[in-house]
Each structure stands twice: as C-alpha cells, then as structure tokens.
Amino acid sequence: MSWEEILEAQQRSLAHLRSVYREDAETVIADARYGFISGLMKETLRKPAIERRSISDSIDKVLVNRWLGLFIFLALLYGVFQFTFTASVPLMDWIDEGFGWLADEAGSISPAWLGSFIGDGIFGGVGSVLMFVPPIFLLFLALAFLEDCGYLARAAFVMDRLMHRIGLHGRSFIPLVLGFGCNVPAIMATRTIENPKDRLTTILINPFMSCGARLPIYILFAGAFFTSHQGLVVFSMYAIGIILATIMALVLRKTLLRGPSGHFVMELPPYRLPTITGLLMHTWERGKVFLIRAGTIIFAIVVLVWLLDYTGALEPIGRAIAPVFSPLGFGQWQAAVALVFGFLAKEVVVGTFGTLFAGAEGLGDLGDVVGLELAWTPLIAFGFMAFCLIYVPCVATIAIIRRETNSWRWPAFTVGYTIAIGWIVAMLIYQIGSLFT
Amino acid sequence: MRMAKEITIALAGNPNSGKTTVFNNLTGARQHVGNWPGVTVEKKEGTCRYQGYTIKVVDLPGVYSLTAYSIDEIIARNFIVEEKPDAVVDIVDASNVERNLYLAIQLLEMGTPLIIALNMMDQAESRGHQIDVSQLSYLLGVPVVPMEANRSRGTQALLQEIVKMADSAVQPGRFRLDYGRELEEEIAKLQELISEDRELSRRYPPRWLAIKLLEGDEEVVKTLRVKQG
C-alpha cells in the first residue's frame, strides 16, 4: 500500500463530496462539529432567556465606538506616556544621584586610565542607560495593564476599520503595539497572521513602532530641550512612527506586496481586572531584557566606545561620517559616533553620549551638556530624535527579520529603506524648521 | 520502595481562556521558557509534584482550532500527535463554552486522553449560565473539572484527575462524532486504507487522519507526499 494511493483516494472522496454537498468537505465537517456542540449545549447549558447586557457590553458601546474609540485610544496612549514620565522622575533622580556619586568616587582612582574607564566608561556609559530602567518598566507596566484588562483587543477592533484602508487588518495591530516594547518579540508575534503578504507587511513596518530602547533617547533630549512639553514631544515621536508605518504599509501593499488581505473575525475577550502577579510577571518578562542587555551587549559596546575614545581613534571615525548628517543639523562627530554605535542597540546612543560627556555635572544633565557642547537647538534635537526613531532598529531586529522571512532580501531592504526615510525626515525637519527660526 | 513516576501533560485552550493562569497555578516558579524546535514561537514548560508524581506541564500555544492554517495550531497538534502526552488538559472558558468546545471536540477526535478544565465558572454564573458539569462529562466521556483559576480554585481537583488518568491508563477514544452518511462513507474508505499501512496507523489515529484528509489539511497531505519519496 503506497501513500500515493491514499492521496488518490482522498482526491476521489473530495470530488465525490463536492458533487454531493456543493461545498468543500471542510465546511461540512466544521458545520457537523458546530451542530454537535449546539446539541450538546441544549442538554448541558441553561442561559437566561434574555441575556442581561453585561458590563462588558456597556463599556464596549463607548470604547469600540467608531469615532470615540479612536479618540479614547489616542488619549489613553498619551496618558500612558504622561504616567511613564511623572512616575519615573523620582526614581530616575535617585538612580542618577547614585551613579553620579559612584562616578565621582571613581574619578579619584589611580592610575588615571582606570579611573576614566570606571568613571566615564562604566558609570557614565552603562549608568546613563540604566537610568532609564524606571520609565521603561513603567511603560511596560502600563502596556501590560491595557493588555491584561482586555482593552488592547478593543483598540485592535477600533483600528481594524482603519487598518483595512491601508490593506491590513486588526490582527496586525497587536504585533504593532507589542513593538512599543521591543520589535523582536513583536515580529515573532506576526506568526498568528495567516496571509503571508499581510504578515510580511506587518514585519516590515514594525521597526517604526518606537521600542523601549529608543525611549531613553527621547527622554534625554525632551527633558533638556522641551522642559514644559516633554510628554507631548515624546508622544509626537510615537505618532511619527505610527504615521510612517501607515504610509509604508499603504505603499508596500500597492507595490511590492500587492494582493488581497485576509479576512477574520475580531474577537473581544471580556474585560477583566488584571491580577497584580500577572501584571508584574508581564512587565518583568519584557523589562528584564533591558537589564540583561545593559549588562551584556550595551556594556560591551560602551567599553568599546570608551576604548576608542581613550585611544583617540573615535574622533576620526566620527569625523569621517559626520558630513553625512550635516544637512540634518547634527553633523558633529560625537553625534555621528553615537548613531553608528546605535545601530547595534539604540540604548547605546545615550550610552555613547554618556561616555563622551561624562563629567562632574552628573548624568541628569547629560541632555543639557550634549546640547551645550554640540550647540544644538531644540529643532536639531527634535530632528535627531526623529532620526533615531526611524533609522535601522537594531541588529537584533534585523536578525529576527532575517529569520522570520528566511531570506537576506527583506532585512537588507529594511536597513536600506529605514536609513533613507530617517535621513529624509530629519533633513526635512531641520531644513523646513530652519526657515521659521 | 516507591519510584517517582514521571508524566507529561499538555495545556491546550483558546486564547483568553485563562490558560496562562492555570499554568502558573500548576507550576509556580518552576518554569522554563524556550522555543519550539525549528520555530521562534515561545514554548513554556514547568514541573509540578503531586502525590509522588513529577508532572511535566507543557503550555501549548493558545488556539481556537487544530487546522493547518497557522503555525500555532500546527505546533499544538504536532506536539499531541508526536509526543503523545499522558494527558491533555483543555482549558475551556465556562462563560463561553459553546465556542471553546470546538477545540475540545478536535482534541477528542485525535483520541487524546483529555481532561476539560471548565475555567472562570464565576463569570459564567454571574451571567446566569448554568452548566450541568456531570452531564457534560458524561456526554463527552471525559472528566470535567470546574475551576476559577484566577482565585486558585480547582487546581487540586485538576491534579487529582490528571493523576487518576495517568494511573488508570484507560483507553480513550470512546468519543465519535457522526458526520452523516455521505461523509462517514468516505471517512470509512480512507480509514481502511490508512489502517492497512502499519507506519501510518502507528503514528496517527486512522479516523483522525481520514478526517484531516477530507478537510484538505495541507500539513497532512504534505507529510504523505514527502514520505513516499
């Protein structure tokens, strides 16, 4: 008995069934199962004749409303960032003081190179990254809350209608929101999308969703240059990311990835009060990645940056690349170096500045010091933040795109097109903005 | 001397059925997160000791069905077919039994030793749903354990059923859904061919494989094509 005969028998059966039912056997089988279940329910389940309108349904009337829902989603997102800021300030000050003290103490270590290594390299570089652990964790806590209470599924539902217009659907939305945490697991989460072109589009636009590693950059410069509108400026970064993702999805679906998008029914789980344990576990699962990164890859890169700086090799590298960024307003070698190393991991942008400008002022003023030393205006800082948002997410994201698409074509494409768009957007911000100042 | 007995169970269930909470209740801190072989979907495993048993708990991806349309579904069913866990616990949202049972039906058709954990009973009750648990258990021929996992209720009863199932080694497979004359005739034809093949009938429950073929399941078709060389 060969297996080929079984497959032939299968084809005969399928043809026969199709002629009998005028439908695919698959549908008939599914119907039979549903029929069985509904019979089973008649014997085992009693529901009230008229189901009380549940609290869930009443809340949904508002949250899933066509226009109000969108407004509420944006308002909640804005609230999340405000919360992240307000609540993390005292914690950041505390960490800042701790590292400032450590850096001061390290300064007196001899020989001088060791003091510089520990003070500037480790405490300045890694410390400046670790300082942003509180906002990152608080952002994840807020996202975990929205996810666990069932709101995120509503947001997906609201977005579904909009997503259809850009050739995607609500199922792409969850991986995109997960991208606010980290693009790597977010890209893995696209596996639930059945249609291959939908999935590839969702993967390719995911890097525009501003991940937690980019948050330190925004906070650093928003704090230094936009004191009274920090929350708004950071929110605008996320908004730019979302707008770019939307445009790119539209473009991709009309060009490289043309074709119909899949259909599916969005499901709305009931609202639940999240458990504290659940929230803490979800926050920790996502947040610990940053602690591990700070201790490993960030540490290694910052040490490399310090070494290159200490030996005088860093400045020539920076000067060679810097002219590329001149039309963008941040053509200083320090900025160029920070961006080059930021390719490896976005936190390193801050870590590099921390190593280069670590001084007696303390880390809390790092943004001010950078602004002063490089003679940046708020406009330049804004363009720099936008460039950091858009250009190559990080090596880990490129690696996961390579793995998930099983080719080098798409990761290479991502690197190329994100750098190009980042450069253009930052250039436009600087050039057009300069006309008004 | 008593030997510590090791058994493996898999947790299946729809997304939002409280599967993760049940997993946490069972395994506590003894968890391990890895990847399913060959793919980047997260695989959670944990262990739990109960009445001299060491129970390895594998958390399958949350799915609504066991078709070949998504990687999650393929992972879930491949694990059950290939690893043959000692018991599969299907976490069913009691306030949404009707939809959740679709997965349970498919698990039963695979001939798995199934336990249904009827989770979130409190929510079902607050909506005025009354579920006849013993009748449900009788009609499906599997143990049904009412639970409220978010309040840690029902874990002990679930563990008891797991151990009982592992101990008794009862032959599952009493469940059989009647698909109607036309379909049943075709299922029977294919089932017979499959049963004649020793390798296939050892690897898959023949009736399940026959139904999958009629569903036009691409994974199954691919397996048959590849293996014949």
Is B228–A52 a contact, with Cβ atoms under 8 angstroms apart? Answer: no
Q: Which amino acid is at A103?
A: A
CB < 8 Å to A46, chain B = 129-130, 132
CB < 8 Å to A38, chain B = 98
Residue A55 lies in a domain: no
Note the pLDDT of residue B30.
78
- Lowest average pLDDT, out of A213-222, A360-369, B24-33, B60-69, goes to A360-369
Closest residue in B to A8 (Cα–Cα)? B190
Taking residues A181-199, report their average pLDDT.
81
Residue A135 lies in a domain: yes
Taking residues A157-166, report their average pLDDT.
74
Q: Is A164 a residue whose pLDDT tops 50?
A: yes
Residue A51 lies in a domain: no
Note the pLDDT of residue B3.
58
Closest residue in A to B185 (Cα–Cα)? A13
CA of residue B39 relative to chain centroid, distance: 21
Query: Does residue A338 share a domain with residue A245?
Result: yes
Q: Tell me the C-alpha distance between A399 and A392, whole Å.
A: 12
CB < 8 Å to A171, chain B = none
Is B97–A51 a contact, with Cβ atoms under 8 angstroms apart? Answer: no
Q: Tell me the C-alpha distance between A159 and A163, whole Å.
A: 6
Note the pLDDT of residue A320.
95
Q: Which of A17, A41, A194 faces B186 most closely, judged by CB atoms?
A: A17
Residue A57 lies in a domain: no
Residue A64 lies in a domain: no
Q: Which of B182, B200, B211 faces A17 most closely, judged by CB atoms?
A: B182
Taking residues A30-38, report their average pLDDT.
85
Note the pLDDT of residue B1.
40
Q: Tell me the C-alpha distance between A388 and B14, whole Å.
A: 39
**Helix segments in A190-272, DSSP class H:** 196-205, 215-225, 230-254
Q: Is B69 a residue whose pLDDT tops 90?
A: no
Taking residues A142-159, report their average pLDDT.
82
CA of residue A359 relative to chain centroid, distance: 31
A41-75 residue pLDDT tens: 888 888 876 655 567 777 777 887 778 888 898 88
* Token pair of B206 as six digits: 């023949």
| DSSP code, position A149 | T
Note the pLDDT of residue A360.
44
Q: Are B162 and B90 in contact (CB under 8 A)?
A: no
**CA of B57 vs chain A CAs: smallest distance (Å):** 19
**CA of B139 vs chain A CAs: smallest distance (Å):** 8
Query: Does residue A97 share a domain with residue A30?
Result: no
The interface pTM score, or ipTM, of the predicted complex is: 0.92
Residue B145: beta bridge partners?
A: B117
Residue A77 lies in a domain: yes
Query: Does residue A79 share a domain with residue A39?
Result: no
Residue A251's Cβ-count burial label (10 Å; 0-12, 13-18, 19+) is middle
Q: Are A202 and A175 in contact (CB under 8 A)?
A: yes
- Give the residue, A419 or A180, on which the prediction is more confident: A419
Query: Does residue A180 share a domain with residue A148?
Result: yes
Query: Does residue A349 share a domain with residue A281?
Result: yes
Nearest to A222 by CA among A386, A352, A424: A386
Note the pLDDT of residue A309.
85
Query: Does residue A379 share a domain with residue A310?
Result: yes
Query: Does residue A368 share a domain with residue A336?
Result: yes
Q: How far is CA A258 from CA A191, A221, A255, in A?
A: 20, 39, 6
- Lowest average pLDDT, out of A164-178, A211-225, B174-188, goes to A164-178
B195-205 residue pLDDT tens: 998 888 888 88
Q: Tell me the C-alpha distance between A46 and B102, whole Å.
A: 19
Q: Which of B24, B71, B193 faces A1 most closely, judged by CB atoms?
A: B193
Residue A217 lies in a domain: yes
Name, of A248-262, A288-302, B40-54, B209-223, the range with top average pLDDT: B209-223
Is B106–A44 a contact, with Cβ atoms under 8 angstroms apart? Answer: no
Q: Is A376 a residue whose pLDDT tops 60?
A: yes
Is A20–B182 a contact, with Cβ atoms under 8 angstroms apart? Answer: yes
Note the pLDDT of residue A267.
59
The model's confidence at residue A434, banded by pLDDT at 50, 70 and 90, is: very high
Q: Tell me the C-alpha distance between A428 and A431, whole Å.
A: 5
Nearest to A325 by CA among A339, A312, A344: A339
Query: Does residue A153 share a domain with residue A12?
Result: no
The model's confidence at residue A367, banded by pLDDT at 50, 70 and 90, is: confident
CB < 8 Å to B228, chain A = 2-4
Total count of domains within chain A: 2
Residue A402 lies in a domain: yes
Residue A406's Cβ-count burial label (10 Å; 0-12, 13-18, 19+) is exposed
CB < 8 Å to A44, chain B = 131-132, 135-136, 139
Residue-number span of the structural domain to which A22 is assigned: 3-46
Tell me whether the omega of the peptide bond preceding residue A111 falls within 30 degrees of 0, making it cis: yes
Query: Does residue A37 share a domain with residue A98?
Result: no
Closest residue in B to A196 (Cα–Cα)? B70
Query: Does residue A14 share a domain with residue A110?
Result: no
Note the pLDDT of residue A354.
86
Taking residues A232-243, report their average pLDDT.
90
What chain B holds in terms of domains, given with CATH numbers, is: 5-168 (3.40.50.300), 181-227 (no CATH)
Taking residues B108-137, report their average pLDDT.
91
- Give the residue, A13 or A299, on which the prediction is more confident: A13
Interacting residues of B44 by C-beta distance below 8 A, sequence separation 6+: B23, B31, B32, B33, B58, B59
The model's confidence at residue A415, banded by pLDDT at 50, 70 and 90, is: very high
Note the pLDDT of residue B40.
66
**CA of A4 vs chain B CAs: smallest distance (Å):** 7
Q: How far apart are the first and last CA of chain A?
A: 82
Query: Does residue A164 share a domain with residue A27?
Result: no
Q: Is B18 a residue whose pLDDT tops 70?
A: yes
Query: Does residue A103 share a domain with residue A25?
Result: no
Interacting residues of A188 by C-beta distance below 8 A, sequence separation 6+: A400, A404, B40, B41, B42
Is B128–A52 a contact, with Cβ atoms under 8 angstroms apart? Answer: yes
- Give the residue, A428 or B226, on which the prediction is more confident: A428
Asked if B213 is an interface residue toward chain A (Cβ–Cβ < 8 A), one would say yes
Taking residues A370-394, report their average pLDDT.
92
Q: Which of A7, A40, A44 faces B221 most closely, judged by CB atoms?
A: A7
Is B98–A54 a contact, with Cβ atoms under 8 angstroms apart? Answer: no
Is B132–A44 a contact, with Cβ atoms under 8 angstroms apart? Answer: yes
* Token pair of A331 as six digits: 């053509």
Is B214–A13 a contact, with Cβ atoms under 8 angstroms apart? Answer: yes
